[in-house]
Amino acid sequence: MNERATPQQEESGQNEHRLRPRPLARPSVDPASAATFGRPEGVEGSFDLLRGPDTHGRPASPRSAPPPQSLTEAFGRQPGDEEVLLQRPEGQNTDGASPGPGDDDEPLWTADDDPWRDPAAPAVLGKPALRDGAAADSDPQRPTGPLLSLPEVLFGRRVKPVALALLAIIALAIGAGGGAVGWAIATAGDSLTGELNIAEADAAKERPAGSVADIAQQVAPSVVSIEVEAGQAGGVGSGVVIDPEGYVLTNHHVVSRASRDDNAKVTVVFIDGTRTSGEVVGTDPKTDLAVLKVNVENPVVIEVGDSAELAPGDRVMAIGSPFGLENTVTEGIVSALNRPVTAPGENGDPPVTYDAIQTDAAINPGNSGGALVDSTGALVGINAMIRTAGSTGEGGSIGLGFAIPANQAVEISESLVRDGSMRHASLGVNAASVAANTSQGAQVRNVVPDGPAAGAGIEEGDVVVRVGERQVRNAAELTVAVREHEIGDEVPVRVVRGGRALTVEVTLGAD
C-alpha cells in the first residue's frame, strides 16, 4: 500500500536540498573609530529624538536663536510704533473701483496693472516696462562745445594769425638755407672728384694710450745712440737723457775707450738726426754705469719711474740701437727681480756686479745703455747685459736680458755728476761661490788685513750665508747684499764655520 507523504514531510525534504544563507560577517570595530563615528552614549536608535514635556513623543521643532541685540535695535520696531502691513491704497480696488464684497482675498496686483509687481511675469531682457498710454521720452540733445582751431591743436593755446604767419616764414627760410648749403656742398664735391665716384680712406691706425706704439713715440726722443771712435777701434751703444742740462746715462763699457783715451771721440745722435759731441762726466766700472754731458737746448728728458714697484710679469719695453739700428723697440715682461749678475771687467777694470732686472725683451749688442720702460713709459732700468748660448759671447738674444734698476742707476748717476766717481760699501773680503750653480753661500778666500771683516772676526774658509735680512747664495749675491747698505752701517753677518753657524756684527767700510 502506497502511503502519501504529508505536506510537512514534503517541505522538509525540499529544504534539505536548498542552500542556506551565509552567516553574517561582522568584522571587529576599531575602538578609536567607534569613539569617533559611533552612537553617543544612551542613544539606541538611528537618531536621538528631541523630546519635550508637551510633545508627547513627537519631535520638538527646533527653534532658531534670537537675533543679536544690536540688530534688533538697528532694524526692529521702536517702542510705540504701529504695525504696518502691505495693503492697497485705502478705498481703491485693483481696477481702481471701490472695494466690493470678497475683495479682501484678491491679490494686491494684476497682470494688466503693474507687471513689475507680478511674480508670475516672465524675466525677459527688453525695453523698460511702461504703463498704458505712456510714451518714451526722446534722447536729450547734449550741448556741443566750441571746436578747436588749428593753432589750439598745434600749440595748445590761441595764437594770433600774424604770429602763425611769421613762424611759417621763418621755417621756410631755414629750409631754404639748408637746401642751399647742401646744393653747394654737393656741387663742390663733384668739382673735386670729377665724374668718378671714388671711396677714399685715410691710411691711419688707432693707437690708444698705453699701447706699444704710443709709449714708443713718447720715449724715443729721450733715447740716443752713442758712437765712440778711438783710433781704428770704435763701438756703438745707447743712452738715455735724464736731466734737462743735457746729462745722458749709459753703460761704462760703452764709453770705456773714451774714459781711458783723451783722443777718443764720443758722438751722441738724437732721433731727429741731430749729432753732437759728448763729454764723459764720470764712470762707475763696478756697476757698469757712466754719465755723459751734451750741449743741446731743451732736450727731451725721460720720466724716471720706481723700479722697486716692479713685479715679475709686468710688461716692459727695451728701446735702443742694437747693432747700430737706431730707435729699435722690443717688448717683453719682467722675468725676475733682484737677480745678482756679474761679468769680468774690461781692460783691467774690476768685475761688474749688480742686482739686475731680468727680462725676456729682446736685447742685443748695441742696446747697452738704452732704456727699459714700464707700461706707462717711465724708466725702470738701464739695459746692460745679455746671456748668450755661444761660448764667444757674440750671439744674439735668447730671451735672457739684464738691466740695472733705475733706482740704483739714478743714485749712482747723481754721485757721478756731483763727484765724478762712486764709492760702495765693502765687507773687506774676497769670496767665491761654494760650488758652481749652487746656492750654498759665498766662501771667504782671503780677508783684507785691518778690514771690516777682519775686525769682526771673520776668517778664511768661513761661508757667508746671510747679510742683514738678505740671504747669500753665491759670491755675486754677497757683493750686492753688502752694497745695499751705506758705508759705516753696522750689519749682522751670518757665517758657517766648521759646520757651526755664527753671527757677527760688521761695520761696513768703503771699497
- Could you state, in order of their start, the residue ranges of all structural domains in the chain? 212-419, 425-510
| Active-site residue flag, 190 | no
| Active-site residue flag, 46 | no
Alpha-carbon distance 284 to 345, whole Å?
Answer: 11
Closest C-alpha among 352, 484, 473 to residue 427 = 484
Alpha-carbon distance 447 to 461, whole Å?
Answer: 10
Stretches where the chain sits below pLDDT 50 are: 1-3, 51-55, 94, 111, 191-197
Alpha-carbon distance 178 to 422, whole Å?
Answer: 75
Q: For 397-452, how does the pLDDT look when each residue is reduced to its tens digit (9 = 90+)?
A: 788 899 999 999 999 999 999 988 889 999 988 888 887 766 788 889 888 888 89
Backbone φ and ψ of 100, nearest 5°: -110, -175
Per the residue annotation, which of 335, 368, 397, 426 is the catalytic one?
368
What is the predicted pLDDT for the residue at 20?
A: 73
What is the predicted pLDDT for the residue at 381?
A: 94
Alpha-carbon distance 439 to 459, whole Å?
Answer: 21
Alpha-carbon distance 174 to 224, whole Å?
Answer: 60
Per the residue annotation, which of 222, 238, 288, 413 is the catalytic one?
288
Alpha-carbon distance 362 to 339, whole Å?
Answer: 18
At 73, is the secondary structure helix, strand, or coil? helix
Residue 440 CB neighbours (<10 A): 14
Per the residue annotation, which of 252, 253, 424, 485 is the catalytic one?
253
Angle (CA) 356-361-367 rounded to 5° is 75
Statement: 212-419 belongs to CATH 2.40.10.120: yes
Distances (CA, A) of 506 to 453, 490, 491, 501, 509: 6, 5, 5, 16, 9
Question: Thinking of the domain 425-510, which architecture would CATH place it in?
Answer: Roll (2.30)
What is the predicted pLDDT for the residue at 116?
A: 64
Q: Which residues contact 410 (CB under 8 A, 6 or more apart)?
A: 242, 249, 304
| Active-site residue flag, 368 | yes
